Amino acid sequence: MTTDAKGQIQVNDLKPGDYYFVETAAPAGYKLSNDKISFTIKLQLSNESAVVVAKNFKKSTPPNTNDNHGNGQKMPNTGDVNNVGMTLIGILSVLGLLVYSFFKPYRRERQ
């Protein structure tokens, strides 16, 4: 038996007894359930319908463990403290250039 586009199935004229459904395929993006969905049809004297409900669960997205750009280079971690030395060298270089450019005109005036 196969469900319709809404994921529903209708079975008529089941005799009283114990039955179960087994999911053999899941919609795209959903987990395939390995559980048996059991139900019982009792002897009915009226025209009443029995309803069986099963829930589908969406697949969870796995975390991204790809830490490179595809070319083997590792991406830097946010807040990485391994680059503090390079940051200090950069700041000192900029300060050195500023001090040099500030005092350079005064050196020319003295000569």
Average pLDDT over residues 78-101: 84
Please state whether the predicted TM-score (pTM) of the whole model is above 0.75.
no
pLDDT at 71: 66
Among 12, 29, 49, residue whose Cα is nearest residue 1? 12
Q: Indicate the pLDDT class of residue 91, thresholds 50, 70 and 90.
A: very high
Phi/psi at 3 (5° precision): -75, 160
| Weakest-pLDDT range from 16-20, 31-35, 40-44, 80-84 | 80-84
Q: pLDDT tens digits for 57-85? A: 788 776 666 655 666 666 666 666 667 78
Could you give the 3-state DSSP secondary structure of residue 16? Answer: coil
pLDDT at 64: 63
Long-range contacts of 16-25 (CB under 8 A, 24+ apart): 16/41, 16/42, 16/43, 16/44, 17/41, 21/52, 21/54, 23/54
